[in-house]
Amino acid sequence: MKTKTGTFRFPYRLEYDPSKKANVWLVTIGSVLLALVACGIFIAANGMNPFPVYKKLLSGAFGSAFGLTETLVKSIPLLLCGLGVSIAYRISVWNIGAEGQFAAGAIAATAVTIYFPDLPAHWTIPLMVVFGIAAGGFWGLLTALPRTYFQVNELITSLMLNYVALLALNYVVFGPWKDPKGFNFPGTPLFNGAQSLPVLGDTRLHLGLAFAIVVVVLYWFTIRYTRWGYELRLIGANAEAAKNAGIRISKHIIIVMLISGGLAGLAGMSEVSGVTHRLMYGISPGYGYTAIIVAWLAKLNPVGLVVASFLFGGLIVGGYSVQTIGLPSSISNMLQGAILFFLIAGDTFGKFRIRRQG
């Protein structure tokens, strides 16, 4: 722009600075609020007032004892899978295979009930836990080993293995493990009392909650107070510096993916033994994928993981409630996707600085 004194230049410029860290709490809270606004626009475009919809969603998830216990039930697999992907993300290993690892754990735990049907509870439950963790860990290794020794991108392998595990689950519930008395329903025979996790009173809240709490505490203590946790934090902050310090990154990738998959496998075991009491088609509504959003929202923080899991468990339960007022339960999926979108956008825009020119 020309003026009498010369060319006008805007005094500020937008500059990208990858080293700048965005305000974590501001981005998180802002992402949730913007997601609510964006989804509210879609709800309004559908001819409904978004405020009663959100009120129904919240009251269905948190407004009663039943809603709260159901929210906690949904939070258990989200928290276990979220912990699994978080420990992998600590060293920038992008495990998006928690859905397949969840399915592998559920299949292996169910195998105990199929092949050892008469074992007492004090043997059956521990065996199911061990089999579930081992199967999920093995599924995680199928991603870690190609990444470590052949430099295969873990995003591709972990995603592809999700489909393999889900197809394997479909095979057994439609095929050899199908309940002959199940009226052609694709599922295994119903578990007996010795094969089911104890529940709290008349609710569906089961022992898997204790598993999740123990794992959260172990995760917090390990990351904060152990040498191995320090090495994980160092690798995540600067892999090259960690390598120069003598840390074997390949060994950590294998161990981390083994643990990551094992936790998702434990989530699968908890779901079949504590909630559905049988392996069935469509056992997961996408817990492994939602866990990725949980980990992003929590910024890998243990307390944040608990809060985010509870929030997203409430979204799932509240999604069922809004069906009574004429909206599909998939509105909760829309909210989850919007939160992830604004989280990523917030992290990106948080790295821009406004600088004065000259």
Do 94 and 154 contact (CB within 8 A), yes or no?
Answer: yes
What sign does the dihedral 332-338-344-350 (CA atoms) show? Answer: negative
**E strand map for the chain:** 2-3, 6-7, 12-16, 352-356
141 — pLDDT class (breaks 50, 70, 90): very high
Report if residue 208 sits inside a domain: yes
Q: What is the mean pLDDT of residues 192-214?
A: 95
CA distances, 42 to each of 7, 37, 258, 259 (Å): 45, 9, 41, 40
Phi, psi of 190 (to 5 degrees): -65, 140
Q: Which of the pair, 204 or 184, is modelled with greater confidence? A: 204
Report if residue 16 sits inside a domain: no
pLDDT digits (tens, 9 = 90+) for 78-106: 999 999 999 999 999 999 999 999 999 99
Do 162 and 288 contact (CB within 8 A), yes or no?
Answer: yes
CA distance 70 to 64: 10
Q: How many helices (DSSP H) and strands (DSSP E) are in the chain?
A: 13, 4
Res 196 pLDDT > 60 = yes
Q: Which amino acid is at 256?
A: V
Backbone dihedral region of 299: left (phi > 0), alpha (psi from -120 to 50 degrees) or beta?
A: left
CA distance 290 to 181: 34
CA distance 305 to 294: 6
Report if residue 119 sits inside a domain: yes
Res 18 pLDDT > 70 = no
* Residue 256: both structure tokens together: 């981390």
Do 265 and 132 contact (CB within 8 A), yes or no?
Answer: yes
Range of the domain at 127: 75-301
The Cβ-side half-sphere exposure at 152, using a 13 Å CA radius, reads: 15
CA distance 353 to 355: 6
Report if residue 338 sits inside a domain: no
Q: Tell me how many domains the chain contains.
A: 1
CA distances, 313 to each of 60, 74, 327, 345 (Å): 11, 5, 19, 23
CA distances, 214 to each of 198, 208, 219, 264 (Å): 17, 10, 9, 15
CA distance 280 to 170: 8
What is the predicted pLDDT for the residue at 58?
Answer: 92
Report if residue 231 sits inside a domain: yes
220 — pLDDT class (breaks 50, 70, 90): very high
Residues near 325 by Cβ (< 8 Å), separated by ≥ 6?
A: 48, 52, 53, 56
**DSSP string computed for 278-334:** S-BTT--SSHHHHHHHHHHHHTT-HHHHHHHHHHHHHHHHHHHHGGGGT--TTHHHH
Q: What is the mean pLDDT of residues 295-322?
A: 92
Pairing mode of beta strands 6-7, 12-16 = unpaired
CA distance 235 to 242: 5
Report if residue 63 sits inside a domain: no
CA distance 319 to 315: 6
Q: How confident is the prediction for the chain on average, in pLDDT?
A: 91
Between the CA atoms of 339, 71, 292 and 85, what dihedral angle is there, to the nearest 10 degrees? 150
Res 9 pLDDT > 70 = no
Which alpha helices (H) appear in 175-226, and where do they start and end?
208-225
Report if residue 206 sits inside a domain: yes
Res 198 pLDDT > 80 = yes
Residues near 342 by Cβ (< 8 Å), separated by ≥ 6?
A: 30, 31, 32, 34, 35, 38
Report if residue 219 sits inside a domain: yes
What is the predicted pLDDT for the residue at 206?
Answer: 97
pLDDT digits (tens, 9 = 90+) for 154-165: 999 999 999 999
Q: What is the mean pLDDT of residues 138-153?
A: 96
Pairing mode of beta strands 12-16, 352-356 = antiparallel
